[in-house]
Structure 1
């Protein structure tokens, strides 16, 4: 039995792969997760959890924010020192996010072997900083950039770590849909990632209702931000009432939500998913063999969301739509085509199945427990 620390940022893209790893490791090892307070809502099943403060020096400009972030990092380093000194881990795994910085810094200072995990196709800032000092960099994608040739021997591709409930969607056979009858509604799931996507709630509702006027039947499960739920819900309800007054059967229903710890239930039901392009979101949908329309966040750090989505688009596993003025029109067109020709879904599913290689979690555990 080894003692292992997993340190990670608090957003879904960082924390979900570490939850998947934790669930497998805890059977045979003593495991602690260190993260920041954004992750608390995801971690109700974690036995050994420590929260430390984290602050990105790049999030805001100005000398006051810089001084504040340096002070928070210093406090986190002191806390990390005592955590590591008392826990005495054999191995530390960092999967990015600024909360990883103080933990990895102390691990290096105490000469504890540490691994890095990069889920994105673009190497994150903290991982770039610690790459020369880590034992190995384990990656979700085969190619990661920027990556110096002198350190190529440190990189090992293990694949994307995915929570077991998404793998079970695949195992249960709920992923594959043959061409459906035209009168069946298209089940559409709209995800904004762990932090929501305001633009989806602003631009897409009008297009969904326009599709109903073209006799496209939709059943929506839509994630919106907390301050949008009333506005978007009223917009749909008012248009449905107007259609009923005109005695039109528009074939439209919707359900809105802000956050769910059982997102896999929505994924099971969906025929197609509209989503941002965080690595965790895309890898979990790919594992469940769910076709998706990827809309990268245009101001993501180092444009990593675009490169994540392009990996799947290049292999014809998804539709890649950039977040610009034409975004909602392109999504409307894709949904209409898919509704009328459902075999398009099967083509994407077949290509997603071809991506599957080995068992990423087993590969990962074999590397860190040698």
Structure 2
């Protein structure tokens, strides 16, 4: 039975990538999907081609009483626009992926009595998802342990994982790239969709401190901010380390495919892709992330032995060189770390999330007998 679904997400990669994966899966199942986001989201390159998109106003709850009042007015305007969309598009369910643009879309769904769900990508329930947790019909989580999730919501929680693009998921069937003791050692450096200045400052100098025989094997792909890229390129040239630099990596699945080691932030999509592909990593969580959620994101893969986490205050060239040597000088240990990262992946995340969404949007008479799945245990904090 073909139905309509609205996906609502803030315009950052962490929200948009899993929303795009779900949109693709629902389209494959014969449904129609509309995206509600902000201007950043509807312009996100390569994710929502062929999907109808809508920009809703959504203020941020910041700036004191005056800022809150302005945000409230914007959210009410966004809710009114969403209600108008729902009257013509007639969605069977509305699914929020976090971020302020999701809030008015969900408020409108509550007002129109449309089934709702939220998906939380991080290991800490985000602000918007916390605001609506009591009203939505289902809460899908990416981690078995999700902080800031109340026990009273236990009955509506499903641990599905964090959906990734099909091109990344396909890497699970490809072996970890062959690493010979004297062969090329490929390093991918990425700070998320906007890059990370701390990686640009530390990584070139850290790699330069490796033993000469190791340093000469390096081949680096580094995503950097536009304001940093010239200085980073000069640093690699000074250290005679072959490096390709870009402000955006549209071919991230292919970059992951050949990488022996990834140096990255610990955003939700980054962790999901590392564990889907099975790539070992050195993670540097963003300390200013709300509720320190990137540190929480990194715990599972680090505890499993698939990554090493370095707090930003401790992330120095010397520390990076030390960790690189521990990981990189033993090909067998690095391949073992790749397997441990892969074991943390949830390859069925998009399928399980789509199943949940279809159940929300279907009349009981349309559900096959036994379709409802037991809610998996989730740890609360």
Q: Normalization by structure 2: what TM-score?
A: 0.88
The answer (yes or no) to whether the contact 1:294–1:309 under 8 Å persists in 2 is: yes
Q: Does 1:258 align with 2:260?
A: no
Give me the whole-angstrom Cα distance separating, in 2, the residues matched to 1:358 and 1:238. 41
For 1:141-220, what aligned pairs fall within 5 Å after superposition? 141-171=143-173, 173=174, 175-177=175-177, 180-211=179-210, 213=212, 215-216=214-215, 217-220=217-220
The answer (yes or no) to whether the contact 1:316–1:351 under 8 Å persists in 2 is: yes
Residue 4 of structure 1 is matched in structure 2 by 5
- Segments of 5+ residues of structure 2 without an aligned counterpart are 360-381
The answer (yes or no) to whether the contact 1:90–1:112 under 8 Å persists in 2 is: yes
Residue 14 of structure 1 is matched in structure 2 by 15
CA drift of 1:88 comes to 1.2
The answer (yes or no) to whether the contact 1:37–1:53 under 8 Å persists in 2 is: no
Give me the whole-angstrom Cα distance separating, in 2, the residues matched to 1:115 and 1:330. 42
Residue 367 of structure 2 is matched in structure 1 by none
Q: 1:356 to 1:306 in 2, by over 3 A?
A: closer
Residue 110 of structure 2 is matched in structure 1 by 108
The answer (yes or no) to whether the contact 1:142–1:157 under 8 Å persists in 2 is: yes
Give me the whole-angstrom Cα distance separating, in 1, the residues matched to 2:59 and 2:272. 27
Q: Does 1:91 align with 2:93?
A: yes
- Segments of 5+ residues of structure 1 without an aligned counterpart are 241-251
Q: 1:349 to 1:234 in 2, by over 3 A?
A: closer
For 1:299-318, what aligned pairs fall within 5 Å after superposition? 299-318=288-307
CA drift of 1:20 comes to 0.6
CA drift of 1:303 comes to 0.8
Residue 135 of structure 1 is matched in structure 2 by 137
**1:99-150, Cα deviation, whole Å (9 max, x unpaired):** 0100000100111010111111111111111111111111111121222222
What SS does structure 1 have at the residue aligned with 2:227? helix
Give me the whole-angstrom Cα distance separating, in 1, the residues matched to 2:136 and 2:130. 10
CA drift of 1:215 comes to 4.2
CA drift of 1:228 comes to 0.9
What SS does structure 1 have at the residue aligned with 2:36? strand
CA drift of 1:64 comes to 4.5
Give me the whole-angstrom Cα distance separating, in 2, the residues matched to 1:270 and 1:75. 46
Give me the whole-angstrom Cα distance separating, in 1, the residues matched to 2:83 and 2:358. 23
- Per chain length, whose mean CA-contact separation is higher, i.e. which structure has more relative contact order (CA < 8 Å, sep 6+)? 2
The answer (yes or no) to whether the contact 1:272–1:291 under 8 Å persists in 2 is: yes
Q: How many residues align?
A: 354
Q: Normalization by structure 1: what TM-score?
A: 0.90
CA drift of 1:66 comes to 3.4
CA drift of 1:52 comes to 2.3
Give me the whole-angstrom Cα distance separating, in 1, the residues matched to 2:203 and 2:53. 38
CA drift of 1:82 comes to 1.5
CA drift of 1:298 comes to 0.5
* Worse-superposed segment, 305-314 or 330-339: 330-339
For 1:44-83, what aligned pairs fall within 5 Å after superposition? 45-58=49-62, 61-83=63-85
The answer (yes or no) to whether the contact 1:321–1:327 under 8 Å persists in 2 is: no
Residue 368 of structure 2 is matched in structure 1 by none
Q: Does 1:26 align with 2:27?
A: yes
What SS does structure 1 have at the residue aligned with 2:285? coil
Q: Does 1:288 align with 2:289?
A: no
Residue 243 of structure 1 is matched in structure 2 by none
For 1:114-133, what aligned pairs fall within 5 Å after superposition? 114-133=116-135
Residue 222 of structure 2 is matched in structure 1 by 222
The answer (yes or no) to whether the contact 1:11–1:195 under 8 Å persists in 2 is: no
Residue 41 of structure 1 is matched in structure 2 by 44
Counterpart of 1:335 (choices 324, 333, 345) is 324
